[in-house]
A = this chain, B = another copy of it.
């Protein structure tokens, strides 16, 4: 396939999808036995990023139904990584907040997961790393905030 072909949006889409899939697959492979399940970990990172949220808002954000999020939140609470706080105005609602232990867990897990990728990136030239930094910005822009 020619270079110019790969720069057209259609063919490039396949290239980007494959590249992203393979990197994430490798990152998953490098996942430690002690790591939290992914669906629990992403809730911790959401709480870290947006602050305390209701289970309903977390369910919407993660694209699961409320009963599933109830389970996930309960598991995180039992592990001591999150806690439920009553909403002050609306007593139907519950706010889920990150605990100090949860915050620490995020940091440790990220370090462990990124170890392999960091090593690989170290084998690239500074120019290649710059290309990846720019590409990361573009991809995040395309994908939107969440």
Residues of A within 8 A of B (CB): 3, 6-10, 12-27, 29, 63, 110, 113-114, 117-124, 126, 128-140, 142-144, 146
Contacts and interface: CB of A to CB of B under 8 A. Distances in A.
A118 B10 contact: yes
A140 B22 contact: yes
A9 B122 contact: yes
A121 B12 contact: yes
Q: Which 10 A-B pairs have the closest CB atoms?
A: A135-B135, A22-B143, A19-B136, A9-B121, A19-B139, A13-B117, A13-B114, A20-B20, A15-B136, A120-B142
Contacts of A17: 23-24, 27, 113-114, 117
